[in-house]
Chain A
Amino acid sequence: MNAMKPLDDKICEQLSAWMDGELSRDEAMFLERRLQHDVALQAMYSRLQMTSSCMKGQAARLMPASLSTNIKLALAEEVSSKKSRKPLIVWAAAASMAFAAIVFIPGMMQDTTAPAPTFAATGEAVSQPNDVPSFASADLIANTMAVSTEVSANPSMPASATSNPVVPATVAAVESPENFPLNVSSEKKSWPRSAVNANSDPALEAYLVRHNQMMAQDGMGGFVPYVDVVAQDSEQVEKDAIGNAGDNK
């Protein structure tokens, strides 16, 4: 802040006009910049306001020059404390995200990082625990993960060690989903399993599920786990559409 120094008439006249809202924009910008730093000009502005209030018959009580300075300091402190809190908030948010990543990502990554699963080479049903969700593809992936983790974690574990025996079979490189050995839960209804379209083509349905499993094996995750795998029959879709249109009438 500048020390008190005499003000020239020009700037004082500008201040007087600015108070009345009668200064041009350019002059006002210049004056306001100076007013921010010039203590003498600030003091004059304050006195002129007091004079103006007296002349207008407005109630005014002379406040010390320190008041505006104290307010300025208090606000500066408030702003700086807000700023200093900001990095803490950012840091806390980053820490939360890191924590969430540590907790949740490994579970999600199992889709892609799990060791090669073993499947029933014959395509026969592989029994699994019954408490898995009823969504078809979610069942398949969850079961696949459970089996593969179990087996890879303890390769020497005998098949009898599990309540539902698993027929181990190493999956060879498969070129097409058609040749991919399907892992099907025995406790679930047979294909097609989707409630969305019970009349879909079983062959296509099985192909899609195989494709999903194959993608998962290659570390690509396949379909989204909670999405049911559905093959739509075009004729049925048409019938449904007509039926829906009739319902809407």
Chain B
Amino acid sequence: MGENELDLELVKRVQSGDKTAFDMLVLKYQHRIGAVIGRFVHDYAESQDIAQETFIRAYRALNNFRGDAQFYTWLYRIAVNTAKNHLVSMKRRPPTSDVDADDAEHFDGAYRMHDSDTPEHELLREEIARTVSEVVAELPEELRQAITLREMEGLSYEEISETMDCPIGTVRSRIFRAREAIDSRLRPLMDSERVRP
């Protein structure tokens, strides 16, 4: 089961009344949705409110989601509309140009979009990205290869096991250890930021 299939399964569970499955979708997409909203709204607290509104709207509308598009693309549109509506309600003008969900995924565009963010958050984002790059570079070869094939190339565990000529269980373990190493370095950084009001 791929990532999109996992999303669809969670969506189906929400549609059948399992509200806790929606919490998992929130945890998964909150940072990316935060970035989308950051394009429109400078203020961090304000962007949190809009992110909350986005997810609540998504929850209400989830029964209309038929799975024709990816869940994230659907959620992205709701976030953009919510942010624009917010700006209109505050009598501020939303940006005239719009960026598709796929285009917004890439850092080049993201950096351009984030030029309105606060300097603190811009620094934090850069620090997180730099830390991730550093940790990945320091990883043992087999861990680095496994996590790179997974995250950057998007290969499945089976494909990685064929590429690296090792059992799937080993792939699973290597990917986890790579993530654990990155997480141990990021955790202090992110936790200190997240406890800040």
A interface residues (Cβ-Cβ under 8 A, vs B): 9, 12-13, 16-22, 32, 35-36, 42, 44-65, 67-68, 70-72, 74-76, 78-79
Contact = CB atoms under 8 A, between A and B. Distances in A.
B194 A54 contact: no
- B interface, by DSSP: helix, strand, loop or mixed? helix
Contacts of B1: 21-22
B31 A60 contact: yes
Nearest to B21: A32
A13 B56 CA distance: 30
A79 B157 contact: no
Contacts of B113: 59
20 contacts: A12-B176, A12-B180, A20-B175, A42-B27, A49-B31, A51-B132, A53-B32, A56-B152, A57-B106, A59-B109, A59-B113, A61-B117, A61-B125, A62-B121, A62-B194, A63-B48, A64-B196, A71-B26, A71-B56, A75-B22
A16 B190 contact: no
A246 B27 CA distance: 73
B172 A61 contact: no
Interface of B: 1-3, 5-6, 19-24, 26-38, 47-48, 51-52, 55-56, 59, 104-107, 109-110, 113-114, 117, 121, 124-125, 128-129, 132, 136, 147, 150-152, 156-157, 172-173, 175-176, 179-180, 182-183, 186-187, 190, 193-194, 196
Given A21-B3, A54-B128, A32 B24 contact: yes
Q: By CB atoms of chain B within 10 A, which of A36, A54, A56, A72 has the most?
A: A54
Contacts of B121: 61-62
A77 to B, nearest CB: 10
Contact of B34 (A52, A63, A72): A63
A46 B156 contact: no
Given A12-B180, A36-B20, A71-B26, A55 B172 contact: no
Contacts of B114: 59, 61
A13 B172 contact: yes
Nearest to A37: B20
A90 B56 CA distance: 27
Given A47-B190, A51-B179, A71-B52, A63 B23 contact: no
A49 B28 contact: yes
B173 A13 contact: yes
Contacts of B47: 61
Q: By CB atoms of chain B within 10 A, which of A35, A49, A59, A67 has the most?
A: A59
A61 B20 contact: no
Contacts of B129: 54
Nearest to B33: A63
Contacts of B32: 53, 58-60
A42 B34 CA distance: 18
Contacts of B5: 21
Contact of B152 (A9, A53, A55, A62): A55
A48 B187 CA distance: 10
A36 B23 contact: yes
Contacts of B176: 9, 12-13, 16-17
Nearest to B36: A59
A45 B183 CA distance: 10
A61 B38 contact: yes
Contact of A46 (B31, B172, B180, B182): B31
B80 to A, nearest CB: 13
Contacts of A36: 20, 23
A44 B36 contact: no
B19 A75 contact: yes
Nearest to B19: A75
